[in-house]
Amino acid sequence: MHTPDTTALDPNPLRQFQAWFAEAETAGIEAPESIALATATKDGRPSLRMVLLKHADESGFGFYTNLESRKALELAANPVAALLAYWQALGRQVRVEGTVEPASREASAAYFATRSPGSRLAAWASPQSRPIPDRGELQRLVEDARRRFPDGDVPLPAHWGGYRLVPDTYEFWQQGADRLHDRIRYNREDAGWRRERLAP
């Protein structure tokens, strides 16, 4: 499991992330795509939540959400974020930092169409991050949405869409004995990526 030298990792951090992600899937880790996403207000007050990573490719790290949620409002004011993938069974984590850009409406609509009918109705119904009196209110909102789309053809709401985090920093962490963990950081430079080892 150890990465004793920086040359043991791929010089391209995206490919290295994809390799570790594939190993997490092969290991049978439940929901390896569950990641922690940190955003912050314009004055630096942070917030953190779990989201599902929907893609990690040359365009960035993609996720979807209600565009009126706290994270979306924070990203509108301060379009930078960090994410963390942690796979305990492998003793590994990856941190990724960068700028965040909205996904196209076409990309958001294409992904939205793959969601279950119930999830699509919930996207219309839930006033995400805003107070509601009780769970019954949420159920009523779902029923209102169901009546609005009786044929089950639920389109993409205007208040729902995707984002992609475009990395400028990666850090790969591999658990080691006696807390002598391996930490390899990649920083984006004009010519590509610079790798360096960090003390644990």
What's the DSSP call for residue 58? T
**How many separate helices (H) and strands (E) can be counted in the chain?**
5, 9
φ, ψ (nearest 5 deg) of residue 26: -65, -35
DSSP string, 2-33: ---SGGGS-SSHHHHHHHHHHHHHHTT-S-TT
Which of 179, 185, 194, 195 is flagged as catalytic?
A: 179
What pLDDT is attached to residue 98? Answer: 99
CATH topology of domain 6-113+158-198: Pnp Oxidase; Chain A (2.30.110)
Identify the H or E element spanning 90. none
Q: Kindly list the domain boundaries of the chain, sorted by start residue.
A: 6-113+158-198, 116-155
Walk along the chain (200 residues) in steps of 10 and give the mean pLDDT of each run: 64 97 97 99 98 98 97 98 98 98 97 95 92 94 93 94 99 93 95 93
- The predicted model scores a pTM of 0.92
- Is residue 179 part of the annotated active site? The answer reads yes
Query: Under a CB-based contact definition with an 8 Å cutoff, are residues 162 and 102 in contact?
Result: yes
